[in-house]
């Protein structure tokens, strides 16, 4: 029976590889038959990334590669910096679709945060918030400053300016990826202390990052720009952004809960409308729409009885959303830039992973976490994605003298973290036995239970 099963799976992979070749051929023809950036090309590119990403994920799954990494690799291979099946203009035109996917991921992230889970992990979350944010920021700033002889702008700026830029890099280093966390958890269907801690920390860390960003920008400006005064304006803007976003998110969550209770139909259309319309409107109003959607999901889950149907409705779109988001993110990655900056990017990525590991072990010891969490609690904190790139773009706009080079270094470093992070987290979930697939393997010797899920 096992030989027959292996033969069938090998046959399925062969069919999937053939399908992938057909998709690549069709996309090649479509990319040369339609005008660059045309509407038909846009739909063809979206369909190709969705189908090809799914097929590549299935083909690579026996190797233990997370689906998210497969989606990223698909986007990188098809994007304008490699195969050019999806040209640069089309990738830019797909940005609203990416924003829609990220808004749905944020809603799901908030809905996964239950008050009972946060309370049970409060000690671990508090120690990790203190060490993984404050201490890692300082350590990565020090690492960046120590590498100043190798920085593209290291010789042209005074020491005080390099101190300010190092603080900005430390700020960038403490961003994590809610989308990567949710994507791996969605694939593995993991349940346990590691998955609960990682989800709780990564989601709440977004609020900390927004606050720290305003503080670090305020401190760094006088260091980078001689004559610039320390201004409290950033803190007023921060209060407007954070408090306003939480208030809007609470209102949106209550409205969604009421809609679910009294209407409860066409939820997909409601989610799409929210994602496409509100992201642009809230950016214009200078609110953090990711924080708004996370808050809305949290409110629906914890302040109403509609949490489970709400989460189920979002999860029905789950795989499609993750394929779209990470395939487009992969197409956005500038591979030529990564090839140019990879030694420095690799050094910074390894340093960040090392500090994350060491501070994670220290935080777990202080929090008296169970052994599995002490060993693997850091693993889900390596991934970076859209939030880090958004902060890099903002720094580029705020400091044009070095911002373009800083952003280029950030893109190269985030690309490495984006590829490696999900693999580390999935490995940790498998090793701790929290992923559903691993739990089923552990139960395999008992034939009567081999087909049952662990819960």
* Residue-level pLDDT at 121: 84
CATH classification of the domain holding 409: 1.20.1530.20
- Residue among 86, 60, 59, 65 nearest 75 (CA): 86
Other CB atoms within 10 Å distance of the CB of residue 396: 17
Mark whether 284 and 342 lie in a shared domain: yes
Mark whether 290 and 225 lie in a shared domain: yes
244-274 per-residue burial string, b: 16 or more CB within 10 A, e: under 16: bbbebbbebbeebbebbeeeeeebeeebeeb
Mark whether 83 and 147 lie in a shared domain: no
Spell out the SS3 assignment of 171-224. HHHCCCCHHHHHHHHHHHCCCCHHHHHHHHHHHHHHHHHHHHHHHHHHHHHHHH
* Residue-level pLDDT at 146: 94
What is the 8-class DSSP label of residue 230? P
Is 452 part of any domain? no
What is the 8-class DSSP label of residue 446? S
Mark whether 223 and 340 lie in a shared domain: yes
**Euclidean distance between CA atoms 337 and 240, whole angstroms:** 36
- pLDDT confidence bin for 451, thresholds 50/70/90: very low
Higher pLDDT, 303 or 284: 303
Mark whether 133 and 209 lie in a shared domain: yes
How much is the pTM? 0.78
Mark whether 56 and 180 lie in a shared domain: no
* Residue-level pLDDT at 201: 92
Mark whether 103 and 195 lie in a shared domain: yes
Residue range 183-234, pLDDT digits in tens: 888 888 888 899 989 988 998 887 788 788 878 888 888 888 876 666 666 6
Provide the residue range defining the domain that includes 176: 97-437
Is 186 part of any domain? yes
* Residue-level pLDDT at 438: 53
Q: Which range is least confidently modeled, 261-265, 284-288, 352-356?
A: 284-288
Is 179 part of any domain? yes
Is 247 part of any domain? yes
* Residue-level pLDDT at 454: 29
Q: Which range is least confidently modeled, 9-13, 137-141, 231-235, 356-360?
A: 9-13
Is 105 part of any domain? yes
Mark whether 84 and 138 lie in a shared domain: no
Mark whether 85 and 136 lie in a shared domain: no
Mark whether 390 and 423 lie in a shared domain: yes
Is 455 part of any domain? no
Mark whether 17 and 135 lie in a shared domain: no
Mark whether 422 and 326 lie in a shared domain: yes
pLDDT of 166 > 50? The answer is yes
Question: For the range 432-437, what are the long-range contacts, defined as Cβ-Cβ under 8 Å and sequence gap of 24 or more?
Answer: 432/192, 432/194, 432/372, 432/376, 433/192, 434/188, 434/190, 434/191, 434/192, 434/193, 434/194, 434/195, 435/188, 435/189, 435/190, 436/188, 436/189, 436/190, 436/191, 437/188, 437/189
Number of domains in the chain: 2
Across 348-367, average pLDDT: 95
Residue range 52-82, pLDDT digits in tens: 888 888 888 888 788 888 888 888 888 888 8
């Amino acid at each position: 029976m096992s030989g027959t099963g292996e033969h069938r799976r090998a046959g399925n992979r062969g069919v999937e590889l053939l399908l992938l070749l057909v998709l690549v051929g069709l996309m090649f023809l479509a990319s040369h038959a339609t005008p660059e950036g045309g509407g038909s090309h846009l739909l063809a590119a979206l369909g190709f990334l969705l189908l090809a990403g799914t097929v590549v994920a299935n083909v690579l799954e026996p190797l233990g590669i997370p689906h998210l990494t497969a989606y990223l690799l698909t986007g990188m291979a098809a994007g304008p910096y490699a195969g050019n099946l999806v040209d640069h203009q089309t990738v830019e035109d797909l940005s609203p679709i990416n924003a829609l996917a990220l808004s749905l991921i944020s809603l799901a992230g908030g809905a996964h945060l239950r008050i009972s889970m946060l309370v049970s992990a409060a000690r671990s979350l508090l120690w990790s918030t203190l060490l993984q944010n404050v201490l890692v920021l300082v350590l990565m700033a020090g690492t960046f400053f120590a590498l100043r002889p190798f920085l593209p702008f290291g010789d042209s700026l005074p020491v005080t300016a390099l101190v300010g830029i190092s603080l900005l890099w430390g700020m960038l280093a403490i961003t994590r990826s809610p989308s990567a966390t949710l994507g791996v958890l969605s694939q593995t269907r993991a349940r346990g202390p590691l998955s609960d801690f990682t989800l709780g920390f990564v989601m709440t860390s977004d609020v900390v990052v927004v606050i720290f960003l305003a503080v670090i920008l305020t401190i760094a400006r006088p260091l980078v720009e001689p004559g610039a005064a320390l201004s409290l304006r950033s803190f007023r803007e921060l209060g407007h952004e954070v408090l306003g976003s939480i208030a809007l998110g609470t209102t949106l969550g209550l409205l969604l809960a009421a809609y679910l209770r009294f209407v409860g139909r066409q939820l997909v259309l409601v989610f799409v409308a929210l994602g496409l319309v509100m992201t642009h409107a809230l950016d214009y109003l200078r609110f953090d729409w990711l924080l708004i959607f996370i808050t809305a999901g949290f409110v629906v889950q914890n302040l109403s009885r509609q949490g489970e149907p709400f989460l189920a409705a979002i999860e029905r779109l789950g795989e499609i959303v993750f394929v779209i988001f990470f395939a487009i993110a992969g197409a956005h990655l500038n591979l030529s830039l990564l090839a140019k900056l990879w030694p420095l990017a690799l050094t910074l990525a390894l340093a960040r992973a090392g500090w994350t590991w060491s501070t994670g072990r220290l935080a777990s010891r202080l929090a008296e976490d169970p052994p599995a969490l002490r060993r693997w609690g850091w693993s889900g904190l390596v991934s970076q994605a859209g939030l880090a790139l958004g902060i890099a773009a903002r720094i580029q706009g705020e400091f044009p003298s070095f911002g373009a080079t800083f952003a280029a270094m950030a893109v190269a470093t985030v690309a490495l973290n984006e590829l490696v992070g999900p693999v580390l987290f999935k490995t940790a979930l498998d090793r701790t036995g929290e992923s559903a697939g691993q739990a089923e393997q552990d139960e395999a010797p008992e034939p009567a239970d081999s087909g049952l899920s662990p819960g």
